[in-house]
Structure 1
Amino acid sequence: MNLKYDKLGLKLALATAFMSGFSVFINKYGVSIADPSVYTTAKNMVAAALLAGVLLVGRDYSKVGRVTRWQWAGLLAVGLVGGCVPFILYFKGLALTSAAHAAFIHKTMFVFVAVGAVFLLGERLTFGVVFAGVLLLLGSAFLAGFSPSGVEFGDVLVAAATLFWAAENLLSRRLLSSVPSGVLACARMVFGSVFLLVYLALTGQLGGLLSLSAAAWEWSFVTGVLLFLYVGCWYVSLSRLPAGVATAILLLGAPITALLSFLFAGSSLTFTQAAGLVLVPAGLLFWVFEAEFRTTLGRAPSGVKS
């Protein structure tokens, strides 16, 4: 399959990155008002309901009946590996670490997806994408004040969630060659929500969901809408771009979270953070020039073999 650098895919991936950066920041507050597993279930149910509604009134609904048995198995796997397990791990970890740390660790998914895409999807990455990714990763780490020596248990949980999401994105990229993005996005959140409800029932936390306060539900609705937009945009962009390229763009979410955390924390800017403020724009500019070069010339994109 010979994909081109699709401008709509690029724009949606950028939109996803901005939503990701903002969502991680506000979800840090969300996990403080309810148990992380209960909170993420409520939030995901909101996103699932909205995605299901869009699917029912959209053109992709007519294609649901064409999904094969093996594709349904793949959709169930996406629901478990992408819509359930990592959410439990991530939001438990987010409750124990900073939003900036969580955002940075999550965006390292680019490394795992890029490597996996080369071996499993036959993609290839150019020097431009890799170099921009390294600059963005380093800049995000500096902005977040992340240090391997300061890793906590919450960071480990977020890292585990990131590995699950990396696996999900590789599987999703494969499925998107035959399954519409709207169907996949809906299945991910609907099946994931069902698995989350089963988890709450097995762990005796289902009552916590039923007894959530009005304030908690309001917060879950707001973040659920953001998740709905995130997932909807992400799967369309992933269907139009190589997995390694799409996840490289997501790296922009980490510095956004770090900057929000820095601004609202009211702390002074350190030398390391200042270096991050230089590296992140440098990586972004390098990436923009790379993308513009390839879309203008109509060359095969970094990440897909011609």
Structure 2
Amino acid sequence: GLIHKTLFVWVMILAIPFLKERVSAWQLVGIAMIFGANFLIGGFKGFRFNGGELMILAATILWAVENIIAKKALKDISSTTVAASRMIFGSLILLAFIAWRGGGEAVFSLSGTQWMWTLLTSALLCGYVLTWYTALKYAPATYVATLLVPATLVTNILSALFITHAFSLTDFASATLYIVGAAFVILFAKRAAETSPTLQTIARAI
């Protein structure tokens, strides 16, 4: 989980040279807090640095590259068009891979219930991608990627309420870092927008 949660770090590394985004020192403090919140609840416990984990790291970096490419495309294309293209071409690639692995027959033998859940989760994914690309169109890529990470806080709270029925001191410390870190990112992104005409839309929206 920690490897995937470094996505915003890779996006920031790529966004500064390729998108000319600026990140203030206080925003870096907020980003460090959010990363620390993830590290606190997971850390490197269980890491083996094996092939599987290297593949997760490669996928995370590729997702960061996607953020940069999408941000470039969204300058001239609507978020709906870019999101639809991503979903359609992504689905075609997945279907081609399934067919290549000899699983095409399994796809067409799904039951009605299985198709219902497939379509439902696909609709949720479409909504997520559209929302994400819309945010990416109007906000800096680093900002959007960073604010995806605190979603882990929601997962932890739901887990504490319905699964573990406990909220430890570590969970509390992690939640605090998430909240304070996100506040730093939002606050100082807004201040940066006040000095940058291209970010005025973001400042008014926050």
TM-score bin (small chain): 0.7 to 0.9
Distance of 2:132 and 2:85 partners within structure 1: 14
Aligned to 1:110: 8
Instruction: Write out per-residue CA displacement over residues 53-87 of structure 1, whole angstroms, 9 at most, x where no aligned residue.
Output: xxxxxxxxxxxxxxxxxxxxxxxxxxxxxxxxxxx
Using the alignment, how far apart are the partners of 1:156 and 1:213 within structure 2?
35
TM-score by length of 1: 0.58
Secondary structure of 2:81's aligned partner? helix
1-structure distance, mates of 2:198, 2:35: 18
- What is the alpha-carbon distance in structure 2 between the residues aligned to residue 166 and residue 259 of structure 1? 27
How many residues end up aligned between the 2 structures? 197
Instruction: Report the Cα distance in structure 2 between the residues aligned to 1:127 and 1:229, rounded to whole angstroms.
Output: 33
Match of 2:183 among 279, 282, 285: 285
The letter for the 2-side match of 1:277 is: A
Matched, 1:210 2:105: no
Using the TM superposition, give the Cα deviation of residue 131 of structure 1 relative to its aligned residue in structure 2, in angstroms.
1.5
Structure 2 counterpart of 1:271, which letter? L
* Structure 1 residues 125 and 115: CA distance shift in structure 2, 3 A: same
Q: Does structure 1 residue 236 correspond to structure 2 residue 134?
A: yes
Give the match for residue 71 of structure 2: 173
Paired residue for 2:80?
182
Cα distance 1:285–1:301, how it changes in 2: closer, same or farther (>3 A)? farther
The 8 Å contact of residues 133 and 251 in structure 1, kept in 2 or not, is answered as no
Partner of 2:143: 245
| Residue 273 of structure 1: aligned partner | 171
CA distance in 2, matches of 1:302, 1:253: 27
Contact 1:125 1:302 in 2 (8 A): no
Instruction: Confirm whether residue 264 of structure 1 aligns to residue 162 of structure 2.
Output: yes
Structure 2 equivalent of residue 82 of structure 1: none
Q: How far apart are 1:301 and its partner, in Å?
A: 8.0
Distance 1:245 1:288, change over 3 A: closer
SS at match of 2:107: helix
Alignment of 1:1-306 (within 5 A): 101=1, 104-142=2-40, 145-151=41-47, 156-266=54-164, 268-294=166-192, 298-300=194-196
Work out which structure has the larger RCO, using CA pairs closer than 8 Å and 6 or more positions apart in sequence. Answer: 1
Read off the aligned partner of 2:91 and give its amino acid letter: S
Task: Give the Cα–Cα distance (whole angstroms) in 2 for the partners of residues 255 and 157 of structure 1.
Answer: 25
C-alpha distance in 1 between matches for 2:26 and 2:198: 8
Checking the alignment, whether the CA contact within 8 Å between 1:129 and 1:290 is kept in structure 2 is yes
3-state SS in 2 of match to 1:108: helix
Change (3 A) 1:260 1:178: same
Contact 1:136–1:283 (8 Å) recurs in 2: yes
Deviation by residue 1:104-125 (Cα, 9 ceiling, x = unmatched): 5433211001010112222221
- SS class of match (2:186): helix
Report if the CA contact (8 A) 1:129-1:302 is conserved. Answer: no
Q: Please give the TM-score of this superposition, normalised by the length of structure 2.
A: 0.83
CA deviation digits over 1:247-280, x for unaligned, max 9? Answer: 1111222222233333332253333222112211
**CA RMSD of superposed structures (Å):** 2.5
1:294 CA drift (Å): 4.5
Contact preservation (8 Å) 2:10, 2:61:
yes
Partner Cα separation in structure 2 for residue 157 and residue 268 of structure 1: 33
Which amino acid is the alignment partner of residue 156 of structure 2? A
Distance 1:288 1:117, change over 3 A: closer
Percent identical residues: 30
Post-superposition shift, 1:302?
10
